[in-house]
Amino acid sequence: MKQAKTLTERELRRVLDYTALTRHAMRNRVMVLLTFYAGLRIGEVAALKLGDVVGADHTIKGEILLAPEQAKGGHSRAVFLNEKLRKELTAYVKTIKGRPLDLPLFRTQKQLGFSANTLCQHFYWMYQRAGIEGASSHSGRRTFITNLAAKGVGVRVLASLAGHKSIATTQRYIDVNDDMKRQAVGLLG
């Protein structure tokens, strides 16, 4: 099976520009950004409850603690949120005021929440309509890992952030491109 495409900043901008035109623009934007800036799997995005991201004081948490039933392989893990993502989540949560903390963070038009399969298809169509060929619901996660690797984050830290048990799995996510090679060779000068 072919790996999901890693997206450039320009392609991510195209996807976000497209989501701005959709009926549930803020919801769609935040779901996309959770995959790009936190490396969440699509099933993990679908499984999020409001209480996973909002504290008792109704502020956005600095990390999400995924329960075993929310994460792949039945292993809990911590997902760290950068300031940019926390701001996006803050704006989104303001649009869903009054929702009980035990309900899904993201609702569909007709259902209480997304299934992993439905959300996977939703992402596929968002990428298609944004004109990004080869992208899938896993593209954000793969881009997250690749971008951190390009910034010099070690593979053991990457594996932990991704929730991988094996660094070999993490290494398969890292997409090497010409810019990364140029930077590497430039270190020798």
Domain boundaries, the chain: 1-189
| pTM of the shown model | 0.89
Looking at CATH, the fold of the domain delimited by 1-189 is given as: hpI Integrase; Chain A (1.10.443)
pLDDT at residue 58 greater than cutoff 90: no
Confidence band, pLDDT 50/70/90 cuts, at residue 27: very high
Mean pLDDT computed over every residue of the chain:
91
pLDDT at 169: 76
Per-residue pLDDT reduced to its tens digit, 78-95: 999 999 999 999 999 999
Per-residue pLDDT reduced to its tens digit, 134-188: 999 999 999 998 898 888 888 888 888 888 788 877 787 777 777 777 877 887 8
d(CA 35, CA 139) in angstroms, rounded, equals: 8
- Give the position of tokens 């769609």: 28
